[in-house]
Every structure is written in C-alpha cells, then in structure tokens.
Amino acid sequence: MITGGGSGIGRAISALFGEKGARVHILELNADAAGSVVDDIAKGGGYAQAHTCNVADQQQVKDTINNILAAEKKIDILVCSAGVSHVGNLEQTPEADFDRIFSVNVKGVYNAMYATIGTMVAQGGGTILNMASVAASVGIADRFPYSMSKGAVLTMTLSVAKDYIGKNIRCNCISPARVHTPFVDGFLAKNYPGREKEMFAKLSATQPIGRMAKPEEIAALALYLCSDEAGFITGCDYPIDGGFIRLNN
C-alpha cells in the first residue's frame, strides 16, 4: 500500500514494486494520476489498484484500508510517500500554510500507520517505510514548515520501530535530498519563468554529487528496505542525498 503513489517518488515506487510482483494499492488524491500508474503497471503484467483518498482525513484512510483488506486479507508493506511542500521561512508561513503541511505530511503519515498497524500486529508482522527528507536532519533555508513536518516523520518512524520491534514489524524512513520530480519543474516554471534551465542547474549544484536524484533511485532503495533482504534493518533513517548532509561543509 503506497500513499501518494500517483506522482513523483511515490509513482516510481509504485511502478517498481508492481514490476517486481507486488500487488500494489495506491492511495492518491489525484484519481487520474493514480489511474495512469495502474495502467502502466498492468501493461507490464503487474497488478495494481487505485483508491482515491485524502490521507489527511482519518476516516477516509480507515475506509480505504478496510476495502483493501476485504480483498487482500493482509497488508505486508506500507509506504507513506504522500506529501506537499512549502517555500518560506517562519515569517513567510501563515497559519493556513502551516496547517496544510502538517495535515498531509505529519497527520497523513500518522493516519496511514494508525489504520494499518493493528492489521500488521494481527497478521504477525509487516514493513513500514516513511518518506522523510534531508530537511529533517539539517537546516535548509526557507523550508520552515516542510522541515518541521519531515522532522516529525523521522521521529514517528523511530517511535514505531521501537514500540513494535517485538511484533515483527520493521519501520524505517528514507531522507532524499533534491529529486527531479514534476514538483521541481512546476516550482521553477512558476517562480523563475524564462530562467528554468539556469535555476535547475543551480539547484542541482547544491548536491555535492552535482545533480538531483532520479525518482527511480529512491524507489530502488525503497524496494530494498521493504524486502526480506533488509530483515535486520529497523529504526533507521537512510539519507539518499548525493553527499548533501556529510559533504556540504
């Protein structure tokens, strides 16, 4: 089960999991985006279903998961990838924007885990993977509410990992640096019309490796962390950042 599986990193994770034989269920607010991922997975011979769901609404999440369980009887993997962004420091973050970021990036992760954890306990185990960010670990200019939300994702991950380690449930998170997704292209087009290539190069250069990550690279790490080969890994945050955290000083 993948929240936000219709675009960006979530789309890449959905596609790779489907390619590798998982029965993929996508929880996505944008029904058309989720449907196109389902179609792509089906063309490759995989199985996927799309579920229109607002992860910020706990009852919607519960109802959606109950529908999935009625068909599948269990949920082996939960990937929480749904998220929204915001550019601005503290003074540039009005309450409405703060609440929007919190409701999706923090409460959305809580809602998905809260509605799934009982099933994983009852079935004897499972794997949870949350999408954090390098912003959870280092200060990034003009990312005040986004950093707040990803810090919460990191600490929720650690808490769940500790509380459920005896229940055969693993919980980890991934912390990407900048990833080239449609959000980046939209951000540049909106804020730097006519200068998109220039600003893209500048943003890419903030990673010591000299480029942004590809969504498929994040998906490959997600696949490993949700696989049996990663069975000894829990309570970990995995930066995938082109050297951003350690090599930028």
Residues tagged active-site: 146
**Which residue in the block uniquely carries the two structure tokens 């005040």?**
144
Whether 11 and 5 have beta carbons less than 8 Å apart is answered as yes
DSSP characters for 49-112? Answer: EEEE--TT-HHHHHHHHHHHHHHHS---EEEE-------B-GGG--HHHHHHHIIIIIHHHHHH
- The secondary element (H helix, E strand) that includes residue 27 is strand 23-28
- The secondary element (H helix, E strand) that includes residue 23 is strand 23-28
Q: What is the SS3 assignment for 172?
A: strand
Residue 154 backbone phi and psi in degrees, to 5: -60, -50
Nearest CA to 28 among 44, 4, 7? 4
Residue positions counted in the chain: 249
